[in-house]
Amino acid sequence: MIHTAVLIFVFLIIHLGDFYIKAKFLGDVGEVAIDGHMYHNLAALVIAKFQIPLFVFGYILALLFLGFHLQHGFQSAFQSLGLNHEKYTPFIKWLSSIVAIALVVGYTIIPLVIYFGNY
């Protein structure tokens, strides 16, 4: 858990630096007008980032680490609450795997669609 936590923390710092810091503090993103209001054009930034193969690979790798981390953390949370029982534990382990897989697959689709799409 500690190894995946460190890797996820590094990913979070990079992710925040690439998107949030650029948009809120550096102003490195363009703007788009929607209904007369100006907004940061984060969609263009996301599309630009996800057209870089190394960035897509790193993002998906980080999501895989996040999935392993969440899968273990989800079932450990129930065990910490005292719900470690031969009747409930197999279902909780199964559910934690389903949740982790669903999140990883769902968030992995985004960079893959952008990378292989016509953007």
Statement: the pTM of the whole predicted model exceeds 0.75: yes
Tell me the two tokens of residue 32: 């788009």
Beta bridge partners of 38: 33
Task: Give tens-digit pLDDT for 31-84.
Answer: 888 888 888 888 888 898 999 999 999 999 999 999 999 999 988 888 888 878
- The DSSP element (H or E) to which 32 belongs, if any, is strand 31-34
Tokens encoding 78:
């129930």
Kindly report which listed range (5-14, 21-30, 101-110) carries the lowest average pLDDT score.
Answer: 21-30
C-alpha dihedral (90, 95, 101, 105), degrees to nearest 10 = 160
Domain boundaries in the chain? 2-116
**CA gap 9, 20 in Å, rounded:** 15
Compute the distance between CA of residue 113 and CA of residue 60 in angstroms, rounded to an integer: 12
